[in-house]
Amino acid sequence: MNASADGERIAVVGAGVIGLTSGIRLLEAGYGVALFARELPPGTTSDVAAAFWYPGGVGSERSTGWCRESLRAFRELANEGAAGAIRFVTLHELADEPFVNLGLGLAGDVRPVARDAFPAPWGYGYSLTVARIDVPRYMPLLVARFRDLGGSIEVADVRDLAGLAGRFAMVVNCAGVGARKLARDSALHPVRGQVVRIRMPEGLPPDIIHIDSGTTLTYIVPREDDCILGGSSQVGDDDLRVDAELAASILERVAVFHPALERVEVLGHAVGLRPGRREVRLEPEPVAGGLVVHNYGHGSIGHTLAWGCAAEVVELARTLGGAGS
């Protein structure tokens, strides 16, 4: 059965940012969409993220296009107000030695940081304007928009894509790290991330600080009502328990950047499993009884890629169904 935009029903698996944005764009294109997920916001990995538009990890022309489309969508959301969910702020991408990050240029105005602007050894880097995504506000906004457009949501543990495909014109697999089993994809692996949520300290600038030293991630992401501190990038680790030593290390690492972070009020800790893969899998696959479009493996930049990938999902639906809206 082919998908068309004439109200044809499409199933989306997964209620993280990838699943919700895919569902929203399909609904806007005229498709009927039913979403199935084991966890709904605020219980998804996307809800744990210290999210901001970050194109630093992209390289291919395809992923660059996804980043650009997402940035366009974030600007549109910010212009709409989006209940404070999206704000454009300054990101400082820092390192302890000179580096070139061509992906950052997608933001437009990229400026080298002054050598003495940040404490040693973080004397190198770039400042640029990015979209900061306040997930406690943003994820409910996506759920509401999905439902307002007529999408249905069912809490369900989908274990068989082929069985689901037999009931719908097309299935979009946005299961995140769960796609390892669901799609039998050994190239997909968990990448553990841990964060600390604190009350917003008085006097803390709204700027984001981000450092990726290869083995350690350090970041400060001020939001509307709190601040997220991180982090970690532990490949192959699927332990969802909070590591107290790691939490203490995060607090120690961020404290050097501002006196307001030397003594903070901790509101909570969270752990999420990013869907790590060498490259995003966004492609159709015929299965017994139907068709699946896979859309997973976005690693740590799912929020950055989501709207761009969702636009490509719609194009696949139109192409494979031979009809447009």
Residues 6+ apart with CB under 8 A from 292: 161, 162, 165, 170, 171, 172, 173, 183, 284, 285, 286
Cα separation, 193 vs 186, whole angstroms: 20
16, 139 in Cβ contact below 8 A? no
The type of residue at 305 is L
- Number of C-beta neighbours around residue 64 at 10 A: 17
**Which pLDDT value is given to residue 2?**
45
Q: What angle do CA 54, 57, 62 make, to 5 degrees?
A: 95
pLDDT value at residue 5: 57
Q: How far is residue 120's CA from residue 168's CA, in Å, rounded to a whole number?
A: 57
Q: Which of 163, 169, 146 is nearest to 323 (CA)?
A: 169
* pLDDT one digit per residue (tens) for the chain, 325 residues: 444 455 689 999 999 999 999 999 999 999 999 999 999 999 999 999 999 999 876 678 899 999 999 999 999 999 987 778 999 999 999 999 998 887 888 888 899 999 899 999 999 999 999 999 999 999 999 999 999 999 999 999 999 999 999 999 999 999 999 999 999 999 999 999 999 999 999 999 999 999 998 768 999 999 999 999 999 999 999 999 999 999 999 999 999 999 999 999 999 999 999 999 999 999 999 998 899 999 999 999 999 999 999 999 999 999 997 333 3
Tokens read off for 105: 């240029």
